[in-house]
Amino acid sequence: MKEETNIQDREVVLQVKDLYKSFGDNQVLNGFNMQLHKGENLVIMGKSGSGKSVMIKCLVGLMEADRGTITVMHKDITKLNEKALDILRSDIGFLFQGSALYDSMTVRENLEFPLRHHTDISKDAKSTEQLVLNTLDSVGLANTIDLMPSELSGGMKRRVALARTLILQPKIMLYDEPTSGLDPITSKEIILLMQDIQKKYNTSSLIITHDVDCARVISDRMILLIDGIDYAVGTFKELSTSNDPKIKAFFKQDL
């Protein structure tokens, strides 16, 4: 509880206020609010189709919200132009649900790709090579550098995708279902890796997941996204022992 208080006192690096998003008649987000503090692991859980992925995509400008403000490191991303948004995005790492590795590129090229617009990789080939190797090493896959994504297993793809997001040393990490589609052992490895990364790079992480085990292990705080709003906020322990019927039903279902 002491650590919880400390986290709440830290600087807010990401804030969402009254976020609304609909697709036709389907109101997905209905005034969602959240705050991510520096160094915090915030888990957002919700049923399938509850708008978790829509929300996380709004955070990086991949989707435009209908209403509401999103502040990332004191900048309202809804008011940024394309160039300013690109600069801000270099401070945000995004791990996609399906890894989203570039099929036509080797692992090395996948990792070099985000560097293209932030460093001159042709002039600085040696240090780029070293950076790619070090980052791959931090996810335990330095030996895959010249492989194609099609030659990697699901867990390895997820690790390489993680390395790709880490190469720009982001301050905020967004994870969209980091353990989905993986077997329990690989899921555990990914969760441990996420914890290592947080310690090593001192990142603030927003994790969207269905995986209750993942939430239990990694979360400092949790938000339950129900009916498009931040229905409940608290620690895993607080929420999993709640007497609220909706929260109870949610945990019963998942546990």
Partner 1 sequence: MLVITQIRMQLRSLFTEIGELSYFTARFFKNVFNRPFEYKEFLRQCYQMGNKSLLLVGITGFIIGLVLTLQTRPTLMEFGAVSWMPSMVGISIVREIGPILTALVCAGKIGSGIGAELGSMRVTEQIDAMEVSGTNPFKYLVVTRVLAITLMLPLLVIIGDAIALYGSYLVESSKGNVSFLLYFNQVFEALEFGDIIPATIKTFFFGFAIGIVGCFKGYFCKKGTEGVGKAANSAVVFTSLLLFIIDFIAVFVTDIFYDL
| Binding footprint of partner 1 on the chain (CB under 8 A) | 57, 60-62, 86-87, 89-90, 92, 94, 96-98, 100-103, 113-114, 116-118, 164-165, 168
Sign for the CA dihedral angle at 39, 168, 55, 176 comes to negative
Min separation Cβ 15 and partner 1, Å:
19
User: By the 8 A CB rule, do 152 and 160 touch?
Assistant: yes
Cβ-based neighbours of 200, under 8 Å, separated by 6 or more: 138
Min separation Cβ 176 and partner 1, Å:
9
Nearer to partner 1, 122 or 243 (CB): 122
Distance CA 123, CA 206 (A): 35
Nearer to partner 1, 178 or 231 (CB): 178
Min separation Cβ 183 and partner 1, Å:
21
- Token pair recorded at residue 174: 């967004």
Length of the chain: 255
Nearer to partner 1, 89 or 221 (CB): 89
Min separation Cβ 113 and partner 1, Å:
7
Q: At what angle do helices 154-166 and 184-201 cross, to 10 degrees?
A: 10
* Closest to 11 in 3D by CA, of 59, 91, 73: 73
Nearer to partner 1, 45 or 168 (CB): 168
Nearer to partner 1, 65 or 239 (CB): 65
Question: Alpha helix locations (H) across 90-229?
Answer: 107-112, 125-138, 154-166, 184-201, 212-218
Min separation Cβ 78 and partner 1, Å:
16
